[in-house]
Amino acid sequence: MKLHLLLLLFAWVPMTLCAQRTQRTQRTPVDYVNTRVGTAHSEVPSSTVYGRGTEVLGQTLPAVLEPNGQTLWTPQTRATERKCIAPYYHEDSLFMGIRASHWIVGGCMQDYGSATIAMSMDTPSVATRFSHQDEITTPYYYKVTLPDEHLTTELTAWSHSAQLRYVFSATGTACLRIVVNSDRQEGSVVYDEATRTVRCENPVRRLYQGRGQRAGFSGWLYVELPELLNLQPLSELPDTTQPSQELCLTFSVHAGDTVLLRAATSFTSSEAARRNLWSEQYRLTFDHHVRQLRDTWNRRLSVVQAESPDTLALRKFYTALYHTAFLPRVMSDSDRANYYTDFSMWDTYRALHPLLTLLHPTLNGRMMQSLVRFAERGGWLPTFPCWDSYTSGMIGDHCTAALCDAWVKGIRSFDIDRAYHFMRQNAFQSPRRAADYKDGKGRRALQSYLRYGYIPLEDDVADAYHPAEQTSRTLEYAYDDFCLAQVSRLLGHKKDADKLTQRSHNWQHVFDPRTGYVNGRHADGRFADPVSPFELQPFITEGAPCHYTFYVPHEVEALMSAMGGKQRFLEKLDTLFNGVTSPPLREGAGGGYYWHGNEPCHQIPYLYALAGRLDRTQAVVRRLMAEEYHDTPGGLSGNDDAGQMSAWYVFSALGFYPVCPGTPYYVLGIPAFPRVTLQLESHRDFTILRDTPDGAPCTAVYLNGQRLDAPLISHDDIMQGGTLRFAAE
């Protein structure tokens, strides 16, 4: 019998090792994600051409989260919620704990309603040294070993909740520190000894319009502590039963001990946070939770099946797709219908929301209905809604663009009649009450726009976080008017459609024929004196006239005519991508004026194709994908801006891009992979094939065997399923 058992044992060992090797080699999409990308200063040389200060930071997080969940559970290296400071930077060497964060990922905004949980040994440590060599970072699990604290911190999470597991390697006194991250010293942390729970509140303050005002809600954190711990408040700290911004509890541990904490968040109350905890974590072990979240991420990422022998390309692609799943975030509790907030809409209407419309139309429909609900509550459609508040944080009226794009592409799960009411109100009216306008409601400088057909330089655009920028506003309002005109016509509002269509031509009023670039214009009709189109100007938003001149996505052919024809248009594109300044605009900058690190340029590479040069679009897109995106912490050329920078990469890797959201078309480029399959919500597959090797142009494109005459594919073509094949001429 013993010999028989021994033989079975030896037979089992090689089979087990073989199975383990097979499991390691069978990589899933989430295994390609590098959560550190974008957590450091950009290493991309072009980022310094126009980028300044925090504009050359990716501003992402190595967060553990449910896709589009409420809370980003992230390691913390910076203890503030101040504007433009992310909770974590790769360059930092001190670890401060795990933050329940609501950072607007990838931008220069603020965290809000956050709290941090930290564990240390012997004394309450505000920060302790750590090494990235001792970190494991994935979308579903985080681990770090802290040598000075003689412990390991592990994290897994869900939308509203998290589990934190601490493994101690020494015997002594452990210190649990929980702090609310209010820079105003507001909020409270209270320990309830009877229930062995900690309840935290951090009141939310607004930014941009309404800066410093209460947002009307708080971030709540609820933490359950294990019953076996002999918890003692630290004697030198205030009474733990009274409100304070910080709490420290101590307990004895032995080497090898494991302590598990369960935590949850809410924007409603500590009781709602408690319910969220039990709704999401009922009887789930830590390891079960890890597996469950890993499966969730694989389901999210597997809607795009990219096939390639190039591991680096797969890492860059699935990391970008991961970054498109942070925002907007769920604000509602787990027992309520999903309501979303934090729409960085000046950025995300361009590619992130079109990507959600393509891959996750049900989800994007819920987000669009959230915008309608916001407008119903506040009386006006927001333009840049974050922390569930009006902000007027950037320019344009792009919630209108996102709503119109969703409707034009067939999403019918939001109230279009109420949406249209509020979109029309934004386009034709301003708030009657000055207080409402100052609060961020309505388009900025709308009356000037309606009076002149552009916003003159004499209007300094007061009551806006971004003052002036008159020419960029004119261009963006003209595009928004175009989008609304499309929906007006579909809904049968012909008079509105005609007026809005006429207004969509207003870009012509700021196009200076003397230079062939957009310019500032005075109220009397005179253009401003010619300036360098390649330098930053106060009438342009985060860019130069050479960038915004190409911001006419809805009338590209008319823009070509204004420039003097297709050839002149192509020459200006060549100058943008290949021109050289002498001396360089910024020290260390190479050729070209194109700025990929900010959003107004993102559609420009695809304009070559619309001018009959698909080959040039393909060459530029390939160059940008190689040079502007790296698989490193400094691998983004600018702020990821709520996933927009990453969404550009995802679309470009698929081989097409939404140059003009609000229309049902994509402009062709070049796929990054030999084969990509979109597994659509309709249970159909759309397969994209590239028949040429890397670097070779693909100027013959076939849809279901039929050669395309134009470099366009419609949204309906994709949603019907089929095959798009890129081949050599």
- pLDDT at residue 703 in the model: 98
| Cβ atoms < 10 Å from Cβ of 354 | 26
Tens-digit pLDDT profile for residues 403-417 = 999 999 999 999 999
As a whole number of Å, the end-to-end CA separation of the chain is 71
- pLDDT at residue 591 in the model: 60
- pLDDT at residue 582 in the model: 45
Q: Which residue has the tokens 């509890």?
A: 249
- State the pLDDT confidence band at 243, using cuts at 50, 70 and 90: low
CA angle (329 as vertex; 323, 335 as ends), nearest 5: 135
* Whole-angstrom distance, CA of residue 474 vs CA of residue 477: 5
Tens-digit pLDDT profile for residues 300-323 = 999 999 999 999 999 999 999 999
- pLDDT at residue 576 in the model: 94
* Whole-angstrom distance, CA of residue 211 vs CA of residue 435: 14
- pLDDT at residue 239 in the model: 55
* Whole-angstrom distance, CA of residue 125 vs CA of residue 136: 22
**pLDDT: which is higher, 491 or 241:** 491
Of 589, 503, 585, the residue nearest 546 (C-alpha): 585
Tens-digit pLDDT profile for residues 85-125 = 999 999 999 999 999 999 999 999 999 999 999 999 987 77
> What is the rounded radius of gyration, in angstroms, for the C-alpha atoms of the chain?
27
Q: What percent of the chain has pLDDT over 90?
A: 85
* Whole-angstrom distance, CA of residue 561 vs CA of residue 291: 57
pLDDT at 294 over 90: yes
pLDDT at 585 over 60: no
Beta strands 197-205 and 665-668, pairing class: unpaired
Chain centroid, CA 143 distance in Å: 24
pLDDT at 189 over 70: yes
* Whole-angstrom distance, CA of residue 230 vs CA of residue 393: 48
Of 254, 124, 246, the residue nearest 176 (C-alpha): 124
pLDDT at 581 over 80: no
Helices (H) and strands (E) in the chain, counts: 21, 29
CB 549 within 8 A of CB 539: no
Strand partners, 73: 64, 100
Domains defined for the chain, CATH in brackets = 68-299 (2.70.98.10), 444-549 (1.20.1610.10)
CB 177 within 8 A of CB 184: no
* Whole-angstrom distance, CA of residue 348 vs CA of residue 325: 12
- pLDDT at residue 233 in the model: 67
H helices within 186-310, ranges in order? 270-281, 286-301
pLDDT at 500 over 70: yes
CB 86 within 8 A of CB 110: no
Of 328, 226, 224, the residue nearest 275 (C-alpha): 224
What is the average per-residue pLDDT within 592-610? 95
- Output the CA–CA distances (angstroms, integers) from residue 401 to 90, 359, 397, in the order listed: 35, 18, 7
Tens-digit pLDDT profile for residues 9-51 = 333 333 333 334 334 458 999 999 999 999 999 998 888 788 8
Tens-digit pLDDT profile for residues 52-64 = 888 899 999 999 9
CA angle (359 as vertex; 416, 652 as ends), nearest 5: 115
Tell me how far apart the 2 most distant CA atoms of the chain are, in Å.
Answer: 103
Mean confidence (pLDDT) of the chain: 92
Tens-digit pLDDT profile for residues 359-392 = 999 999 999 999 999 999 999 999 999 999 999 9
Of 197, 178, 33, the residue nearest 114 (C-alpha): 178
Of 470, 477, 473, the residue nearest 500 (C-alpha): 477
Q: Which residue has the tokens 């109420």?
A: 418
What is the average per-residue pLDDT within 198-222? 95
CB 516 within 8 A of CB 568: yes
- pLDDT at residue 580 in the model: 55
* Whole-angstrom distance, CA of residue 448 vs CA of residue 431: 14
The string of DSSP letters for 626-647 reads HHSB-SSTT-BSS--GGGHHHH
Beta strands 656-657 and 517-518, pairing class: unpaired
Tens-digit pLDDT profile for residues 444-491 = 999 999 999 999 999 999 999 899 999 999 999 999 999 999 999 999
- pLDDT at residue 282 in the model: 76
- State the pLDDT confidence band at 693, using cuts at 50, 70 and 90: confident
What is the average per-residue pLDDT within 599-622? 97
- Of 47-56, 405-414, 529-538, 604-613, where does mean pLDDT reach its minimum? 47-56
Instruction: Please give the DSSP secondary-structure letter assigned to residue 514.
Output: T
- pLDDT at residue 3 in the model: 34
CB 679 within 8 A of CB 303: yes
Tens-digit pLDDT profile for residues 634-667 = 999 999 999 999 999 999 999 999 999 999 999 9
* Whole-angstrom distance, CA of residue 341 vs CA of residue 332: 9
Of 698, 689, 690, 708, the residue nearest 729 (C-alpha): 698
Note the pTM of the prediction, 2 decimals. 0.94
